[in-house]
Amino acid sequence: MALAQTPAVSAARFTLRLTPGAWVGVATAVLAASMLAAIASPILHHVPAAPEDDAEYYRVIAANIARSGTSTFDGQTLTNGYHPLWAWILALQDRLVGPSFLITRLIETVAVCGGLALVLLRSPLKTGLGIVVALALYGRLVAGLALTGMEVSLLFGTTALLIWTLAPGRPEFPRSAVLIGLAAAAAVLSRIDAAVFVLPLVALAPLKRTTRLIALGTAAAVGAAYVGYNLAVFGSAMPLSSTVKSLGGLQLNHRLIDQFADDWRTSHLQGRYVQTAVLLALSPVLLAVSKRDSLGRALAGATLVGGAVFVAKLLFGSSWQIWPWYNFPVFFGLLAGIFVLGAPVEAWVARRAAALPAGVGSALAGLVLAALLAKAGLVLARTPAQPLTRFDEVNAQAIARFAPVLRGQRVAMGDRAGVFAARYPGGVTQMEGLVNDRAWLNALKTRAPLKPLLCARGVKFVLAYSRDLGSYRQAVVPAIRPRLSQFTAPALTLSSADEVGHVQDRSAFDMRGIGDEDDVLYLWRLTGCPG
């Protein structure tokens, strides 16, 4: 005769009991489902998913590397204006399966989800609820920066790999030290300015002195090889794009200050730049409460040192505003929080929940996972909103409308040249210098006249976004738009008589809502060149 089950017996039978490793697997699967939903939604609803304009610079250069072995954007000059590891991966993608943005987003998904799994498996979190809360924070702060075609997704994955090699419990011997150094080098090559976080992390990690020295020496050797190659091939130790953004020398970056103030004014603590600043500001607190000789202390110290250097560089050593992917330091702040506070918070929750029925924490974790999956389902079902600033559509209109005049001849263009170059059958000289060469950088730095250089490079037309010029005689087109940088760049003076035409489509591209009047794309002939 079967015994009747008491409520306590039933609860014990149906409690969700998973190992920490299983919880990590479930959390990673939920994150993957959410990212795949974001990828699939525009496909299902026939809405184009365009990469960032800066991502198109990568894609054009990667295509040239894959097809000709030449690191060039414009097809005639060599450039290193990119973070190398992401460009090499995109070149490999182009070579093997083609330049599909869908494939690129899947690569980003693997990097971001793999990064989450590696971090959680090495973290002190042992409960389902703690792991799921970490998932929610990771998805909000980190995964939200992915799927744009930029290098930050790869940075999250390579940094997580570094955490995996640094975590306590791994044997320390020369081969392991070399692996740590190679992982650190991979993270730096994913995004060069992440070095200010990565190298202090290795230096502060709880390693034996010999292991630390070998690891740092390995990373330094890879860095020296990269610098030497750059100097030999491109004439610039660091990417030309970073050098262009430092034009003007030591200064106070008013563009950045205004941008941060605007982010606070419009979003408060919901603003990405504000959230990054808050996490960096919390690093001294995390350092103070961290355990000695722990990976958490190393992460908190690296976040403190790296954050200070990173902010100082942007605030005093750059003349440009920044873009969302500059929020990558949130990853280091989040890691520091997980590794410093994870175990103490889980212990505190366990003490407070001791009187509650068994399985309550797992039930709460399950509810959070269900909510995240429901959100992914809504993303999949809902038609994605069309952005107001689809300058890729305006560029496409210009290519189609002016094709009989352009005939694939070389054009010069500054901001937003990435999307144009990705679709244009001819060469595009990038006037900002971000993916140009050393000679162009020198011209910007000395504010030399640009027309002789453009003529020498065979440029026949100039494209530029501008406010509506109305009835004008001359237009001044700076190489770098003043709204983006406070560095006064040299400019071209073009005549209305040389205008071929312009494209204005405020149904696809209307910048007035964000305080930018430059929403008309003009095309001029470049006249007056010798011969």
Residue 191: closest CA among 336, 326, 308 = 326
Cβ neighbours for 409, distance < 8 A, ≥ 6 positions apart:
426, 460, 461
pLDDT at 16: 56
Burial of 239: CB neighbours in 10 Å, binned 0-12, 13-18, 19+:
buried
The tens place of each residue's pLDDT in the chain, 531 residues long, gives 344 444 433 333 434 578 989 999 999 999 999 999 999 998 998 888 878 889 999 999 999 999 999 999 999 999 999 999 999 999 999 999 999 999 999 999 999 999 999 999 999 999 999 999 999 999 999 988 999 999 999 999 999 999 999 976 555 566 789 999 999 999 999 999 999 999 999 999 999 999 999 999 999 999 999 999 999 999 999 999 999 999 998 999 999 999 999 889 888 778 899 999 999 999 999 999 999 999 999 999 999 999 999 999 999 999 999 999 999 999 999 999 999 999 999 888 888 777 777 677 788 888 888 888 888 888 888 887 766 567 778 888 899 999 999 999 999 999 989 999 999 999 999 999 999 999 999 999 999 999 999 999 999 999 999 888 989 999 999 999 998 999 999 999 999 999 999 988 776 666 666 666 678 899 999 999 987
Per the listing, tokens 């007035």 go with: 512
Query: Alpha-carbon distance 178 to 181, whole Å?
Result: 5
Cβ neighbours for 76, distance < 8 A, ≥ 6 positions apart:
427, 457, 458
Query: Alpha-carbon distance 351 to 364, whole Å?
Result: 16
pLDDT at 295: 95
Does residue 198 contact residue 223 with C-beta atoms inside 8 Å?
Answer: no
Does residue 163 contact residue 118 with C-beta atoms inside 8 Å?
Answer: yes
CA atoms within 13 Å, Cβ hemisphere of 184: 30
Coil, helix or strand for 442?
helix
Query: Alpha-carbon distance 356 to 368, whole Å?
Result: 19
| Strand order from edge to edge, sheet including 461-466 | 428-430, 411-413, 461-466, 520-525, 499-503
Angle at 109 between CA 104 and CA 114, to 5 degrees: 130
| CA-based torsion, 377, 383, 389, 392: positive or negative | positive
CB atoms within 10 A of CB 471: 5
Residue 403 token pair: 């094709």
Burial of 6: CB neighbours in 10 Å, binned 0-12, 13-18, 19+:
exposed
pLDDT at 440: 96
Residue 148 token pair: 């744009």
For the chain, state the CA radius of gyration.
Answer: 26
Q: 509: which DSSP letter?
A: B
Query: Alpha-carbon distance 103 to 92, whole Å?
Result: 12
Residue 241: closest CA among 99, 51, 394, 86 = 86
Query: Alpha-carbon distance 88 to 96, whole Å?
Result: 12
pLDDT at 394: 84
pTM above 0.85, yes or no: yes
Per the listing, tokens 């800066």 go with: 54
pLDDT at 361: 78
Query: Alpha-carbon distance 302 to 214, whole Å?
Result: 19
pLDDT at 514: 63
Partners of 494 in the β-ladder: 475
Does residue 436 contact residue 247 with C-beta atoms inside 8 Å?
Answer: no
Query: Alpha-carbon distance 513 to 137, whole Å?
Result: 30
